[in-house]
Amino acid sequence: MSEFENYHGVKYETSEAKKMADELNKVTCAI
């Protein structure tokens, strides 16, 4: 199992991908 499995419905295999998703999530929540 990946550490970031099913993060927001998408499987991220690297912390970098999760970091980018976190940044996108912040922007989405701000809208």
Distance CA 2, CA 15 (A): 10
Is the distance from CB of 10 to CB of 21 less than 8 angstroms? yes
15: Cβ–Cβ under 8 A, 6 or more apart, which residues?
3, 4
Higher pLDDT, 3 or 14: 14
Q: Is the pLDDT assigned to residue 19 strictly greater than 50?
A: yes
Q: What is the reported pTM? A: 0.40
Average pLDDT of span 7-13: 58
In the chain, domain spans = 1-31
What is the average per-residue pLDDT within 7-24? 72
Our separate counts of H helices and E strands in the chain read: 1, 2
Show Cβ contacts of residue 5 under 8 Å, excluding neighbours closer than 6 positions: 11, 12
